[in-house]
Chains A and B, each alone.
Chain A
Amino acid sequence: MNFLNDPLKVAAAWLEGIFTGWGMDAVAAHVLVVFLGVFLLIAILMVLDIFLVWVERKVVARFQDRLGPNRVGPFGLIQPFADIIKLIIKEDTTPEGADKVVYNLAPILSMASVLILWAVVPLAPVMLGVDLNVGVLFLIAAGAIGTLSIIMAGWSSNNKFALIGGFRQVAVMVAFEIPMLTMLMIPTIFAGSMNMNDIIESQNIWYFIISPLGALIFLVAAIAELGRAPFDLAEGESELVAGFNIEYSGMKFGMFYAGELLHAFTFGGFWSILFFGGYRFFGLEQVSPFLAILILVIKAMVGYWVIMWIRYTMMRIRIDQMLAFNWKFLTPLSFVLVLVTALMNALLSGADAWLYILGMFLSNVIVGWVALEIARSVAQKERERVEGAKAVEAAPH
């Protein structure tokens, strides 16, 4: 065991040795070391978050055929740090009539709900995070805190736009939680475990290949959960002026903003863990834990990039369309997909590996194709209905 093969354990053992050398209790020393480790991880995440501001602005600029930040530092790299300083020295206003405690608690909970997600992220084969046997449900549990923070922000701001934005966002978040929950069942069925690390270890073939439709539905549900375009009702700049965070300024707004970016990156990471093998990449992860972390970060960045790609390509959907899309299309589809997956899994359990993969893939394609055909015909009818209504309106009475 040396530092390069297992940096976390070596560093922990070294620190624990120092602390017990000072006459500290062994258990207390262990807890203190873990506390420091968690602190370090979250501090790194916050620094990464600052960097993500730059990534997001640069990428959106490219999508919109602009240059993005390019004045402060090389490629504008210092820009986000300048933004942070600006946020810190800005005045923190509290609107009159606001509920002060709830108003101040909301941004903290919003950021915390994202940060605690990293508790269950396996970074490398030797850095598993917390080895929870309910890892995938932890994702939803942390999301519940995030939902709560939005409702708190919307309600406590004493502003109509904030209240409407918060309510709409919460309605969308809870609605899309159902497809997300069901899609989390698909890796669970394949791996036979809810543990994030078991899911990674059992992916000798990416689950994306076995269940492409599942990965797609998960991505859609994740984008809705993040509140990003095309599901960014809470923000709705043009109709709700900013939604639930309209009254926030300074660092409190910064927490919402940074929380959203880190949330997107985190979900890119979870997408890659659940469907793209996480830190695994053709055995490269065994070479060095640092390489494994790099692989995970690259995959998470790719996932994050896909989320941005969709965000800056799609337009915003109306709330009635969004809820109808979820309840009438995505929810039934995701339940059908889970049942078909479970059925195929049972039928093909004794079959060869290639037959299993092919059967799963084909069943996914067929379910997806049927669903798309149904959606197409429904959309056709809807278009005809709207056309008909217009024709009746226009007709002379």
Chain B
Amino acid sequence: MSTIRLQRMPIAPARIALVLRLLSVVLALLTTAILLWATGRDPIALGAKVLSSTFGSSFGLEDLALLFSPLIYCGLAVAVALRIGAWNIGAEGQFNFGAFCATGIALFVPGPTWLMLPLMALAGMIGGALWILVPTLARAYADVSELITTLLMNFIAMLLVYWVATGPWLDPSGMALATTARLPVSVPPIWGIVHWGLPVAVMLAIALALVFTYTRWGYEVRIAGANPGAAAYAGMPVKRQLIAVMLLSGALAGLGGMMEAAGTVGRLQGGISNNYGYIGIMVAVLARAAPLGVLATAFFMAVILNGGIVLQSQGLTTHTVLAVTGLILLYAAIGDEAAHYKILRNKTGES
């Protein structure tokens, strides 16, 4: 007689984790389909509609690309911080503040486009880094959880953007409500309305993957994240790395904000971040904090979100989409935990 026993392993094998990850996505979509079917809708027709609307027209592909881009920036921001064991819940705020800083430069500093765009990108990155500076120092020197502080900073940034866009920076022409004037410079398009924000994001993801894989610094960050005590014992500057990585994380989200304001929207206004910062957390978690993985999961989330737009135009509420993303995360979390277990068969009596 033999029994089946589960054994928990400290590290989940990558291949099993990947398979379970894919399975969790399929299960989430299947659950959604069953719920749609149960409420009298045709899930196959809806699914076909989502796919044809997203991939079957240049409209759909443009929309997809414009969703993909900010999700990469925010996903990378969260992923980079996760590498060193920090939870940046504040990508939303850094995105807003980066957009705010870049807009300030665009509106109030005159200059030629070739100079303005790098300047605005720099302002966006510095803004994003500044917005995470206090939580970073608090974590590094006072051991305050960055999880709470970065989250709370989001509300300040969001309200700041609402305030400037409806108050001091309000479009003076009167032709637009609750927004700044159109920015005099914009990120140039590469295809249709898709702008350079996307290729820059992809290049950043590849660059970060190379840095984390092939440089000593990337290695040290990984060790410091896995075991700060051991890393410090080995003589690594853990605190300095934590600060550098968290500031880099903020800068990435801030750059995403600059690209959204100066590329996609063309103005600064409240709500510009569109929850990308929060969805970025999901992107990074699903990608297991791997920069190239972020490309895949950000693309996947972009398809889901764009699918949500299509579903809404078919009479489903916006909450359906939120529920689908939540389901995916739930199944992924279960899958991640399950990947740690190995099935053992052994005969009774032996142990």
Q: Are A and B interaction partners?
A: no
Residues of A whose CB lies within 8 Å of any CB of B are none
